[in-house]
Structure formats: C-alpha cells, structure tokens
C-alpha cells in the first residue's frame, strides 16, 4: 500500500512546495519512497506551472533539500480521492478546499496539528512576511511529526 500526502497552501509557491520538498527528503532518508508519496497544490491558480518562490528555493538549498520537479498546480476535486492526507498550512486553506470540493466534511488537517506544541496554529505565509527561515522551521517540524504518525499508523 502506498500512502499519498498532499500539502496545500494558497498559491503553491512558498509553503506547500517547501513541505513537499522537505517531506520527500525525509521519506527518502527513511527508505520509504516506495510506501509514501507526496505532492503539493494551491487553492488559487495564479502561479500554476511556476517553480517555487525564490525564497523557498533558497532556504531549501541552504538545507541541502532538492526542489527538483516541483511546479505549482491548483487543487482539484479529484485530489480528495487520490490522497489519504490533505494537509493545509492555515485555516483559510481548509475553507477554500471545502468550497472548491463542495463538501464541508472534507477531512483536511493543519500541518502543525501533528506537532505537540503547535496544534491549531498556522504556518505563516512568507510570500507576505518574507520570513522563510521561520516557515522552514515550522514546516520541518510539522513534516517530521506527520511522517512519524504515518509510520505508526501504517506500521512502516
């Protein structure tokens, strides 16, 4: 069985591609590439086809994490069926997903809900704040906790 994870933010150029790259790196280092896969999407379509934001690419490079092959795409209704985990960066993303899907019961969780200390908190958008270092730390913490939960749940 393969577990599929989708990281979602607004434009899919800062937070969610950062999460995709970090999570993909963690999965590879754990030797779980054949069991866990991930992707990212945005609820808005402004940046479709673009690579991650320069700030995201820079912070990933500093941390030796590849963003190869990551291009912005928009969340589509079919994603709900394809992914076991729909992981949003903030509550407005969850509302947008529910609106786009036409289903207010869609199971989406915040990335930081997987952490012990930051449940219910959002990952701030560095597109507006410019603080890619802070966002990297939060996303990494959330991705590590999510992978730990997946390993426990699926006995990997």
109 a catalytic residue? no
Region 17-27: mean pLDDT is 98
Please write the tens of the pLDDT for every residue from 62-94.
999 999 999 999 999 999 999 999 999 999 999
Greater pLDDT, 38 or 99: 38
- Catalytic-role residue among 14, 15, 25, 73: 15
Residue 35: CATH number of its domain: 3.40.50.2300
State the virtual CA torsion across 45, 79, 77, 81 in degrees, nearest 10. Answer: 180
Number of structural domains (the chain) is 1
Give yes or no: 15 in active site: yes
d(CA 97, CA 95) in angstroms, rounded, equals 5
Of the residues 38, 125, 140, 143, only one is catalytic, namely 125
Write the CB contacts of 156 (distance below 8 Å, at least 6 apart in sequence): 30, 32, 35, 36, 150
Q: Which domain holds residue 101?
A: 3-154
Whether residue 83 contacts residue 97, with contact meaning beta carbons closer than 8 Å, is answered with no
pLDDT score, position 103: 76
Written as one string, the DSSP assignment of 19-42 is: HHHHHHHHHHHTT-TTTEEEEEEE
**pTM attached to this predicted model:** 0.96
Active site residue 140: no
95-142 pLDDT, tens digit each: 999 988 887 777 899 999 999 889 889 999 999 999 999 999 999 999
């Amino acid at each position: 069985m393969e577990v599929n994870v989708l990281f979602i933010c607004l434009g899919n150029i800062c937070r969610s591609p950062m999460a995709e790259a970090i999570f993909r790196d963690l999965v590879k280092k754990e030797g779980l590439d054949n069991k866990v896969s991930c992707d990212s999407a945005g609820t808005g379509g402004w940046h479709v086809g673009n690579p991650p934001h320069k700030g995201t690419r820079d912070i990933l490079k500093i941390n030796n994490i590849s963003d190869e092959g990551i291009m912005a795409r928009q969340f589509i209704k079919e994603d709900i069926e394809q992914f076991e985990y729909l992981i949003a960066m903030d509550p407005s993303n969850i509302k947008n997903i529910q609106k786009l899907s036409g289903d207010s019961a869609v199971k989406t969780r915040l990335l930081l809900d997987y952490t012990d200390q930051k449940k219910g908190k959002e990952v701030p958008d560095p597109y507006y704040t410019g603080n890619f270092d802070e966002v990297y730390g939060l996303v990494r913490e959330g991705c590590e906790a999510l992978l730990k939960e997946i390993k426990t749940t699926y006995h990997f």
